[in-house]
Amino acid sequence: MTTEPAVLLMQWLSPAYPVGAFAYSHGLEAAVADGTVKTGADLSLWLEDLLTHGGARSDALLLAAAYHADSQAALKDIDATARAFCPSAERLRETALQGEAFCRTTAAIWGEDLSALTYPVALGYAAKQHSIPLDLTQQMYLHAFVSNLISAGQRLLALGQLEGQQRLSALSPLMRETAAATYAGDLALLSGASFAADIASMRHETQYSRIFRS
């Protein structure tokens, strides 16, 4: 088995790829500020909710839908759904700006014909163009998603590097389950019930002191 697909995904999802993921906390900063998330254990529960009922799961589903899209018109409809599904202005900017940066960078390097798409939709479409397996793409996207929020947690909480990696490793089976559950990309299953995270993202918009953009 060639390692080229995995290497390409590692480049796309690396912190060095200029999408600016480090600037976003997906509402976590507000949850820390109001005391909802205080410890590493709280953070793990927060991330579990995102993987089973929240933004991580919906992103994996949208990514798969984009991968399965059979036309540009279908891709645009999926992207419009991704934008409409965002529960707050900051979450919309988070996915839109990262997606635009991904499309711009990927087009400049590989000559892709990429318009400005939301982040998971852009990644799903690009993976299909490069014949990268969908399950690998989903799992690595979810790994990057969770890794980024654990990194944010390390800046916001008393969470050391070792504990952060332990918690990331413990969430790996759930990432695989989420990828498998969303593999078909059936947007009829698109839903969200991670209300605390959604409300936190709304509150973050007016938070007085903050270091993240969402």
Separation of alpha carbons 2 and 13, rounded Å? 19
Per-residue pLDDT, 3: 59
Confirm if 60 and 138 have CB atoms less than 8 A apart: yes
Q: Indicate the SS3 state at residue 58.
A: helix
Confirm if 141 and 46 have CB atoms less than 8 A apart: no
Per-residue pLDDT, 67: 98
Per-residue pLDDT, 145: 98
Per-residue pLDDT, 77: 98
Residues in the chain: 214
Residues 82-109: b if buried by 16+ CB within 10 A, e if exposed: beebbbbebbbebbbbbbbbbbebbeee
> pLDDT per position in the chain (214 positions), as tens?
355 889 999 999 999 999 999 999 999 999 999 999 999 999 999 999 999 999 999 999 999 999 999 999 999 999 999 999 999 999 999 999 999 999 999 999 998 878 899 999 999 999 999 999 999 999 999 999 999 999 999 999 999 999 999 999 999 999 999 999 999 999 999 999 999 999 999 999 999 999 999 9
For residue 191, which amino acid is it? S
Per-residue pLDDT, 134: 98
The torsion of the CA quartet 6, 71, 191, 147, rounded to 10 degrees, works out to 20
Confirm if 62 and 120 have CB atoms less than 8 A apart: yes
Per-residue pLDDT, 1: 39
